[in-house]
Structure 1
Amino acid sequence: MSVLEPDIIAAQFRAAIRTELVTRNLSIKLVGFLASNDLASEAYARYTQTGCEDVGIHFELVKTDSNTIWSQLMAANDDPNVHGIFIYYPICGDARDTKLRNAVNFTKDVEGLTAYWLQKLYANVRFDDVAQIRKAILPCTPLAIIKILAQTSAYSHTVLPYAGKKITIFNRSEVVGKPLAYMLSHDGGTIYSFDIDGGIIIDGAHHTTHSIDRATALKQSDIVITGVPAPDFPKIQAKELKDHAICLNFSYLQNFTPQAKIQAQCYIPRVGPLTVAMCLRNALRLYNNYHQDQ
């Protein structure tokens, strides 16, 4: 087993962003909204602030509540001095969060989670203009996972880097699991996507009518990705894995047994630092695409 940590890769992206900001003398402002006492959200906000300070992006954290955030978000949408917006969920913890997510101006959506960007992702539209100059914004955590998997032996430097690969993902959330499944499918992979309701197959970016069980999916999978924040999730065991599988965990809980980690050809225990780096990368891309001429 080898262990692949995200820190070095994240540092490389931050260095490139820092260099561009300094070379071009850019001033970029990112505003984050925190409206809960959720410990994970608070930690994410701190990591974002640290990352912004490291590369030279101005970061303002607004501590608010579910009633006030709407007016503050509209003000940030309209403020020409704000170039990126980040919301640390949960806010309300229900469908209102989706409505709030889609209220972010897509030209300032650092997370890449508005319907505007997700529709492009699911349709495999990779640019936001006919001339194909402005690259689309992708969700930060799925993008971080894509970037770290590109450092493994499963990745091939071809048009479809995951052609012929079978990939199991335990997480089908709209924030991470579903976008990630489609991104990997667009790159040639056959995806076995699991949530609490079971497993489905995503092939060529289309849901099939077929279902698949955990045992079958894992025994076939070259890559296994988990993001299950539930303590009662049955951890993946070594005997369930295909030989030489690459395993990645992005939950704050470890979803693999110690023996499964040892058996994996490569084990990736977290992606957090790279997720933050992708947020910074998205902020710079938004500035270049929509705000630099203001």
Structure 2
Amino acid sequence: MTATVLDPSTVAKQYRAEVRASVEARGRAPRVVGLLSQEEGPAATYAHYATRGASAMGIDMAVRQVAPAEVVAAIAQANLDPEVDGIFLYYPLASRAEDRWLRELVDPRKDVEGMHSYWSRLLYENRRYVDDEQTQRAILPCTPLAILKLLHEAGMRGTGEEAPLQGVTACVINRSDIVGRPLSAMLANDGARVHSLDLTGSVVFEPAIGRRAHDVRESGVTRAEALAQADVVITGVPSSSFELVRADEIREGAICVNVAEVENFDESILERASVYVPRVGPLTIAMAMRNLVRLAATREA
């Protein structure tokens, strides 16, 4: 078996077209303010590509270079500016603890990343809509959402009738608040069983079958056991010292997704996986801009 390499840019095209059509129908280009504190590195690179991607969808994105001490004031200014439809934070802006707090300062109605606790609470409670009438969909975090779209494109399907991903077992190596934790919750809310691994150990996200939302419990599952069981493997470890996932660790035909800016998979997995996704960035930007259009439409309704 030789894995199919899935290019996220190809998948992103349909969503960029969808966003572009929504922007054209709206009659005014939505405006996003991005806040960046680093002049170079992954965050600066991401800001460059996000700005270019937004422009291609007809969206006005302005990235502002701010010192860590200026971020709070910059967020407040963007929150109050009626011409600003969305706010994008490029991490790290300060320390990890401070960045978590800064996310809470963004007005949820302008949170294109879907990282504010208002949206996180809906996600972890598996509430798909904001209102009882189900007219406004909840905003989902853009990177985990992009990963789910790529997994669907790669052929991830459930085998049961109670939930779309019933019968799927996933291994997510990353439990950050930005990627791994929300992704595991989203997979489990759709019926998958998820082994979540990080430096502190492993937990399992039990599927939301027979209950409103997923459940999380401690687990003694090892890396070897989790990888051997997984139909889907997603890694997001931002360290070159991470022990690469090898072909002999994964199931034949597994779908593998690399989220980190460094490679987490050994090239041997191409001989055993069915589909390999080397990056997710282009689709993440499309999902963020789709969130933007939905937020802007709700605010103007």
Report the TM-score when normalising by structure 2.
0.94
Q: Deviations over 1:191-213 (max 9, x none)?
A: 00000112111103211233211
Counterpart check, 1:184 vs 2:187: yes
Q: Report the more deviating stretch, 83-92 or 257-266.
A: 257-266
Alignment partner, residue 294 of structure 2: 285
* Conserved? CA contact 1:219–1:241, under 8 Å: yes
Alignment partner, residue 169 of structure 1: 172
Counterpart check, 1:211 vs 2:234: no
Counterpart check, 1:59 vs 2:68: no
Q: 2-side partners of 1:179 and 1:213: how far apart?
A: 21
After TM superposition, give the deviation of residue 261 of structure 1 in Å. Answer: 2.4
Q: 1-side partners of 2:168 and 2:285: how far apart?
A: 27
* RMSD of equivalent CA atoms: 1.4
Counterpart check, 1:226 vs 2:229: no
* Conserved? CA contact 1:91–1:97, under 8 Å: yes
* Structure 1 SS opposite 2:68: coil
After TM superposition, give the deviation of residue 92 of structure 1 in Å. Answer: 1.0
Q: 1-side partners of 2:177 and 2:26: how far apart?
A: 35
Q: 1-side partners of 2:272 and 2:254: how far apart?
A: 8
Q: Which amino acid aligns with 2:198?
A: D
Alignment partner, residue 29 of structure 1: 31
Q: 1-side partners of 2:101 and 2:87: how far apart?
A: 15
Alignment partner, residue 112 of structure 1: 114
Alignment partner, residue 100 of structure 1: 102
Q: 2-side partners of 1:31 and 1:159: how far apart?
A: 41
Q: 1-side partners of 2:295 and 2:169: how far apart?
A: 33
After TM superposition, give the deviation of residue 20 of structure 1 in Å. Answer: 1.8
Q: How many residues end up aligned between the 2 structures? A: 292
Alignment partner, residue 13 of structure 2: 11
Q: 2-side partners of 1:181 and 1:284: how far apart?
A: 26
* Structure 1 SS opposite 2:138: coil
Q: Deviations over 1:26-49 (max 9, x none)?
A: 331111011123511101111111
Alignment partner, residue 256 of structure 2: 247
* Structure 2 SS opposite 1:172: coil
* Conserved? CA contact 1:3–1:268, under 8 Å: yes
Q: 2-side partners of 1:266 and 1:175: how far apart?
A: 24
After TM superposition, give the deviation of residue 214 of structure 1 in Å. Answer: 0.8
* Structure 1 SS opposite 2:46: helix
Identity of aligned residues (%): 38
* Conserved? CA contact 1:201–1:211, under 8 Å: no
Q: 1-side partners of 2:274 and 2:187: how far apart?
A: 20
* Conserved? CA contact 1:51–1:280, under 8 Å: no
Q: Deviations over 1:70-116 (max 9, x none)?
A: 11211111111111000111011231111111010000001100111
* Conserved? CA contact 1:246–1:266, under 8 Å: yes
* Structure 1 SS opposite 2:100: helix
* Conserved? CA contact 1:247–1:261, under 8 Å: no
After TM superposition, give the deviation of residue 58 of structure 1 in Å. Answer: 1.0
Q: 2-side partners of 1:210 and 1:263: how far apart?
A: 27
Q: 1-side partners of 2:63 and 2:120: how far apart?
A: 25
Q: 2-side partners of 1:43 and 1:159: how far apart?
A: 42
Alignment partner, residue 134 of structure 1: 136
* Structure 2 SS opposite 1:19: helix
* Conserved? CA contact 2:22–2:293, under 8 Å: no
